[in-house]
């Protein structure tokens, strides 16, 4: 056998004997496990729990709201986290005893944070129901004022330090005050 190969094998055998000593072996295994868990912890995205509300399917109008806990990706950017909360609301409820606030085609157009104000713009498809075969829109699942109220409630609860401004296709909704009957 070649002399250099023989010295290499002897050196490898000696290093293996040293590495397999219990004190060195177990500390090496623990170090590998620790480094693996630390790297996996850094790469896993953190999630935060948020509370969203949906109307109860058994109640009329907005008589009763049902809360749900959703987990959204944590972000230091408040605007992206608020966008994730609104997207969860627009996706609809997980619980069968709740009903959605709008059609599934509704989307968040943009969320902008300016100091202590969150501006949330939602697509106009939220105002309409499903399109029938004849091309006519059906009634939406909820009145738009009530649907926007559920979105605002969830945003105010989860982002309590911010004031919320909701817009639909870039326009703030202007609701006429309900007329109070004379003598009431």
In a domain, 19, yes or no: yes
The answer on 126 and 84 residing in a single domain is yes
Number of domains in the chain: 2
The answer on 51 and 36 residing in a single domain is no
Cβ partners under 8 Å of residue 84, min gap 6:
50, 72, 73, 75
Look-up of token digits 């608020």: 82
The answer on 161 and 91 residing in a single domain is yes
Look-up of token digits 């069968």: 96
The answer on 113 and 34 residing in a single domain is no
Alpha carbon distances (Å) from 134 to 95, 130, 131, 137 = 32, 11, 8, 9
Q: Torsion-angle region of residue 169: left (phi > 0), alpha (psi -120 to 50) or beta?
A: left
In a domain, 181, yes or no: no
Indicate yes or no: pTM above 0.85. Answer: no
Q: What is the pLDDT of residues 21-66, one digit of tens each?
A: 777 777 778 888 888 888 887 776 788 888 888 888 776 655 688 8
Q: How far apart (Å, rounded) are the C-alpha atoms in residues 154 and 87?
A: 11
């Amino acid at each position: 056998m070649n002399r250099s190969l023989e010295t290499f094998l002897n050196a490898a055998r000696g290093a293996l004997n040293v590495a397999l000593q219990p004190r060195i072996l177990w500390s090496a295994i623990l170090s590998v496990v620790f480094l693996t868990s630390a790297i996996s912890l850094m790469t896993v995205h953190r999630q935060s729990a948020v509370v969203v509300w949906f109307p109860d399917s058994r109640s009329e109008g907005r008589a009763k709201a049902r809360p749900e806990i959703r987990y959204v990706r944590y972000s230091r950017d408040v605007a992206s986290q608020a966008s994730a909360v609104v997207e969860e609301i627009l996706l609809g409820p997980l619980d069968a005893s709740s009903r959605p606030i709008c059609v599934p085609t509704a989307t968040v157009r943009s969320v902008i944070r300016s100091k202590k104000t969150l501006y949330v713009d939602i697509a106009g498809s939220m105002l309409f129901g499903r399109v029938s075969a004849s091309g006519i829109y059906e009634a939406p699942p909820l009145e738009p004022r009530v649907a926007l109220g559920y979105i605002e409630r969830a945003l105010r609860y989860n982002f309590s330090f911010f004031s919320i401004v909701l817009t639909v296709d870039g326009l703030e909704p202007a609701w006429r005050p309900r007329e109070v009957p004379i003598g009431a």
